[in-house]
Structure 1
Amino acid sequence: MRQHAVLITVLFALTVTLVSVSVVFWKFFQLNKQHYIDHIFTKHAIITQIFRQHEQEVTSQIMLEANLAIYEFVLEKDRKVVDVILKNAKVLKKKDFKNVDASFMLSQKGLYTKKVVTDLKVNMLEFNKNIYFYIESPSSSVLILDEELKPYKYWNVAYAYLLIIAILTFSFALILQKLRPLIRLRKKIALYGNGDMNVSFKTKGCDEISLISNELESTRGKINNILDSRTLFLRNIMHELKTPIAKGTIATQMLESQKQRDRFSSIFGRLESLINEFALIEEVTSLGDKTEVKEYRLVDIIDGAIDMAMIERSSVTIEVDATHKINVNYRLYTTAIKNMIDNGIKYSTDAHVKILIKNNELSFESKGACIAHPLQYYIEPFTKDNPSKNSFGLGLYLVDSILKAHGQVLAHEYENGLNRFIFV
């Protein structure tokens, strides 16, 4: 979800915009339609006046039709057609009002005005794309067709709505198109982080994303040059150091004093061991080749670690299922287990280490006092509790680096006199 936050935000904005525009246009459509109906309904006044005159003067139907024809009104005379229209037509608007008819009358008391109040009902109807006015009075009713008026047409509003929706959709499509390079850039950065040093970030264009990609390409070149220089420097210096160490080891054998031979042999041996550890650290901390990771049986890796540590097998108890397999770099993971075995034997009270699987995690148990400092202190380079021990303080640092390269971490717990180091 978080990986596509920008895309989701853009789609959410598009959805909100489309819904908002649709609601606004729907309200506008309703108001516009009602305004149109109200506007054409004003014609009922003319029709009502003609109908009232017809009733007051009791004129013929032909005269009524002639008066209606002046305003392009047609009287519907077929009663069956009238019934069909009244039954199926859509009522657009209706209005009830009182028609007041005043006339002068003469009586014994003199001249007076007589008022007759008549209730009238006017309905505006829509049927088969025609507009009708149906007028009812207490004594009669008529259905009149307005040939001039036509029902409300929504196409103009629909065209405007579709045009705006198309423009918005096209605009957001352009935005998404502009965001596509970000997705490719993220994938390239992930490849670079996984060790593909030859991936290229270079791209064409002058927008902000292209500028960022080209800056990353420039930075990648600088980082690659630094890494190449670092690797070349370390390899050369280790090669140059091994030559005098080898010569010194040979020259040591020519000394007459056994004590001096042993002392110098120990010095040169420690120097060679230190260089080997430096070389291994350089390999682990560099990006490395992920293709060397394969599936191995854990017991085979442990056996290789015991052979590498050159210790008696009685010093190690192994409680690991022979079918348990892991995907690792064999040489590096074997070195990590070897260092944990060396560390357990060196600092335990009985020179013994127990290796087992606990909660699906590899665990190393040894008897002894709890470590004096938090684990973080020991995984720093050149740190150790007892300076007199024959160690450079790189063991746990190297283990932690190897585990991180495999997506794991080193943990420690102390329980009932047991130090337990765990590959989590």
Structure 2
Amino acid sequence: MTHSIFLRITLFFLVTFIAMGLGFVLLQQKLAQEYTHRLESEAGNILLVLRKSVPLAPPMRRSYLQEHGYSVAEPHPDLIKTLKNALTVIPKNYPEEIKSSLHEGRIQILRDENHLYIYLTKAAPPLLVIKTDAAKQSHWSEALLISLMLALLLLYWFIIKTLFPLKTITQGIAQYGASGIYTPMHSKKKDEISLVSRALDSAMEKNQALLEARKLFLRNIMHELKTPITVGKLSLPFIKKSEEKSILERAFFRMEHLIAELVRLEQITSGALAPHLQTCDPKVLLERAKALLFLHDDPIDLSLDGTLIVADCEVMVTVFKNLIDNAIKYSSEGKVSVLQKGERFLFSNLGEPWGEECTLETLSEPFLHHHENTNSFGLGLYIIKSIIDAHNFALNYRYENGSHCFEVVCLNPLLSLD
């Protein structure tokens, strides 16, 4: 979850919003300071004009103030109640007598949303001097903040909407991995993610075509193989009993088994069929493997402790058969040793070490042949690895004391008999 690109983008925009909020608070503090300074300056100018108008008679004072751009009104109590103090503290740069009057309440500096008022409470009669639009505040900072926040929200929504098909792609791939069913997205947009989705749709379409071709090929090849086997088996009764007839019977039996084995293997490795779990006797499995290889006891050194395993017995015969066949084929002395310790089976044979490019991973690839190297397992090891993976067992390899050692661990706590 912490590696999610959606989470990272969300955190980025969240941090941006927080930074913008902090910047707005600092801007508001700066603007508030400037506003207060402007009110102090405007109020100081009004008070200076009032000081000069003190010697004048009330009618002349009113005219004098109006000439300097101020309005004069009677301080109606209802109006005074709607006003609030313009300054929170008395400015230090005001004259002492004005600061004293402000402190004693003989002068009040008031304001509303637009105008600045100087209220002379002890004047005869009381006087209210008004500076029009002196207290008006600009709201550009709030408008700027709202605009930027809306722009960021729209940008965030646009980016998330653009990236949201990634979740659809991920879910489609996960569905394909779990069930083998892929639902094309058919995106018609022109952004990079849409290009990826269309490329994925095309790749999956080709993959489905390959799978269908593979099924068709296997179906045809099985049919073509079964036909001559059937003809051969039908001909057996016409052959006199002899060693050749026995050999042919065993050969036809083995070919039929191989065909059935290939069909079942294809179903398991393709995910179309789960392993049919049973309790298997390794000794029986190894005997069946030897029979399929037409082997006697001479080239095989068995050491079994009798522990039973839970697996698909039919396909595990293939695992043992291929491991024995490979070990004998590539052994320097034509022998293989099979050692069982519980659910672990060790198949070992003497031989020269592989080159560095030959690892268990590379040799498990299908149709791999090292023509210059005799340690080539073709499809054998690929089939083994496929069956082991289908059971969620483990296949290990090591080279020690001049021997190639393949270890099959037939232990998976997730698999159990029903």
Q: Would you say the 8 A contact 1:293–1:330 is kept in 2?
A: no
Matching residue's letter, 2:388: L
The residue number in structure 2 matching 1:166 is 150
Q: Where is the strand percentage greater, Structure 1 or Structure 2?
A: 1
Instruction: Count how many residue pairs are aligned between Structure 1 and Structure 2.
Output: 367
Q: Would you say the 8 A contact 2:186–2:198 is kept in 1?
A: yes
Question: What's the CA shift for 1:32?
Answer: 3.4
Whole-angstrom distance in 1 between the partners of 2:314 and 2:250 = 26
The residue number in structure 2 matching 1:94 is 91
The residue number in structure 2 matching 1:39 is 38
Give yes or no for the alignment of 1:289 onto 2:272. Answer: yes
Question: What aligned pairs does 1:218-237 form with structure 2 within 5 A after superposition?
Answer: 218-237=202-221
Question: What's the CA shift for 1:127?
Answer: 8.1
Q: Would you say the 8 A contact 1:352–1:366 is kept in 2?
A: yes
Q: Secondary structure at the match of 1:169?
A: helix
The residue number in structure 1 matching 2:388 is 403
Q: Would you say the 8 A contact 1:90–1:125 is kept in 2?
A: no
Give yes or no for the alignment of 1:192 onto 2:203. Answer: no
Question: What aligned pairs does 1:94-133 form with structure 2 within 5 A after superposition?
Answer: 94-96=91-93
Q: Would you say the 8 A contact 2:289–2:320 is kept in 1?
A: no
Whole-angstrom distance in 2 between the partners of 1:271 and 1:178 = 56
Matching residue's letter, 1:94: P
Percent identity between the two aligned chains: 23
Which range moves more in the overlay, 300-309 or 39-48? 300-309
Give yes or no for the alignment of 1:177 onto 2:161. Answer: yes
Q: Would you say the 8 A contact 1:316–1:354 is kept in 2?
A: yes
Q: Would you say the 8 A contact 2:36–2:87 is kept in 1?
A: no
Matching residue's letter, 1:96: N
The residue number in structure 2 matching 1:30 is 29
Q: Would you say the 8 A contact 1:74–1:147 is kept in 2?
A: no
Whole-angstrom distance in 1 between the partners of 2:275 and 2:261 = 21
Whole-angstrom distance in 2 between the partners of 1:161 and 1:319 = 75
The residue number in structure 2 matching 1:108 is none
Whole-angstrom distance in 2 between the partners of 1:246 and 1:315 = 39
Q: Deviations over 1:382-401 (max 9, x none)?
A: 879xxxxxxx8754331212
Q: Deviations over 1:201-235 (max 9, x none)?
A: 14464444556545544443333233212211222
Q: Secondary structure at the match of 1:354?
A: strand
Question: What's the CA shift for 1:126?
Answer: 6.8
Question: What aligned pairs does 1:167-316 form with structure 2 within 5 A after superposition?
Answer: 167-197=151-181, 199-203=182-186, 205-208=188-191, 209=193, 212-214=196-198, 216-251=200-235, 254-255=238-239, 258=242, 260-261=244-245, 264=248, 268=252, 271-272=255-256, 274-285=258-269, 287-289=270-272, 292=274, 299-300=279-280, 305=285, 309=289, 316=304
Q: Deviations over 1:276-313 (max 9, x none)?
A: 5544553344x3226x368x57x55868846854789x
Q: Secondary structure at the match of 1:236?
A: helix
Return the TM-score normalized by structure 1. 0.61
The residue number in structure 1 matching 2:345 is 364
Whole-angstrom distance in 2 between the partners of 1:203 and 1:350 = 55
Whole-angstrom distance in 2 between the partners of 1:17 and 1:160 = 15
Question: What's the CA shift for 1:183?
Answer: 1.1
Whole-angstrom distance in 2 between the partners of 1:22 and 1:184 = 34
Q: Secondary structure at the match of 2:305?
A: strand
Counterparts in 2 of 1:221 and 1:343: CA distance versus 1, 3 Å: closer
Question: What's the CA shift for 1:48?
Answer: 4.1
Counterparts in 2 of 1:332 and 1:151: CA distance versus 1, 3 Å: farther
Whole-angstrom distance in 2 between the partners of 1:131 and 1:302 = 102
Q: Would you say the 8 A contact 1:252–1:261 is kept in 2?
A: yes
Q: Would you say the 8 A contact 1:133–1:146 is kept in 2?
A: yes
The residue number in structure 2 matching 1:317 is 305
Counterparts in 2 of 1:215 and 1:46: CA distance versus 1, 3 Å: closer
Return the TM-score normalized by structure 2. 0.62
Whole-angstrom distance in 1 between the partners of 2:231 and 2:281 = 34
Matching residue's letter, 1:222: K
Question: What's the CA shift for 1:354?
Answer: 0.8
CA RMSD between the two structures = 5.4
The residue number in structure 2 matching 1:354 is 340
Q: Would you say the 8 A contact 2:187–2:197 is kept in 1?
A: no
Whole-angstrom distance in 1 between the partners of 2:348 and 2:391 = 28
The residue number in structure 2 matching 1:105 is none
Q: Secondary structure at the match of 1:173?
A: helix
Counterparts in 2 of 1:276 and 1:365: CA distance versus 1, 3 Å: same
Question: What's the CA shift for 1:421?
Answer: 0.7
Q: Would you say the 8 A contact 1:375–1:411 is kept in 2?
A: no
Task: Provide structure 2 residue ranges, at least 5 long, that are not aligned to the other structure.
Answer: 103-107, 121-126, 292-296, 371-376, 412-418
Whole-angstrom distance in 1 between the partners of 2:313 and 2:398 = 26
Whole-angstrom distance in 2 between the partners of 1:272 and 1:132 = 109
Counterparts in 2 of 1:168 and 1:28: CA distance versus 1, 3 Å: same
Question: What's the CA shift for 1:2?
Answer: 7.1
Matching residue's letter, 2:9: V
Q: Would you say the 8 A contact 1:36–1:152 is kept in 2?
A: no
Question: What's the CA shift for 1:29?
Answer: 3.0
Q: Secondary structure at the match of 2:215?
A: helix
Counterparts in 2 of 1:332 and 1:366: CA distance versus 1, 3 Å: closer
Counterparts in 2 of 1:182 and 1:20: CA distance versus 1, 3 Å: same
